[in-house]
């Protein structure tokens, strides 16, 4: 993709939920290959439920199939300094609204991501 349009302005949104929806994609390798072309990060853990089948989960490494601590650590260590936000949110604690945009879960995700970044930066 980058070879087809070699401009530095040809960048990607690094969405862990999209790229991580299949175990065929190595998010650490993608980070390494695209680190200078990552424009924005959507972070969400997913649980693989079958071949090419997944479900969005909390950001916690305990709830999903992705190593969110490792992935965010790789982004930070690779010098990717771009906006990051939790991608989507489940409806939790009786919240109702538009599916995929639960406020409470996105707030929890932002706190979790900040904790990962703070930990990585302290090393």
For domain 12-122, give the CATH superfamily.
Divalent-metal-dependent TIM barrel enzymes (3.20.20.150)
Reply yes or no on whether the pLDDT at 41 is more than 90: yes
Three-class DSSP category at 105: helix
Question: Structural domain boundaries of the chain?
Answer: 12-122
Q: Is residue 90 a contact partner of residue 105, using CB atoms and an 8 Å limit?
A: yes
Q: Residue 46's pLDDT is what?
A: 94
Reply yes or no on whether the pLDDT at 32 is more than 90: yes
Mean pLDDT of the chain: 90
CA atoms within 13 A on the CB side of 4: 2
Pick the more confident residue, 3 or 21: 21
**For residues 64-80, average pLDDT:** 95
Q: Which residue do the tokens 């993709």 mark? A: 1
Q: Residue 40's pLDDT is what?
A: 95
């Amino acid at each position: 993709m980058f070879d087809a349009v070699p401009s530095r302005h040809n960048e990607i949104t690094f969405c862990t939920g999209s790229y991580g929806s299949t175990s065929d994609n190595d998010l650490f390798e993608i980070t390494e290959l695209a680190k200078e072309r990552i424009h924005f990060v959507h972070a969400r853990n997913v649980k693989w439920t079958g071949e090419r089948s997944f479900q969005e989960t909390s950001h916690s490494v305990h709830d999903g199939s992705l190593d969110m601590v490792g992935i965010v650590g790789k982004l930070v260590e690779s010098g990717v300094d771009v906006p990051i936000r939790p991608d989507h949110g489940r409806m939790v604690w009786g919240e109702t609204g538009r599916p995929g945009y639960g406020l409470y879960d996105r707030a929890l995700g932002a706190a979790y991501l900040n904790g990962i970044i703070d930990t990585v930066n302290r090393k």
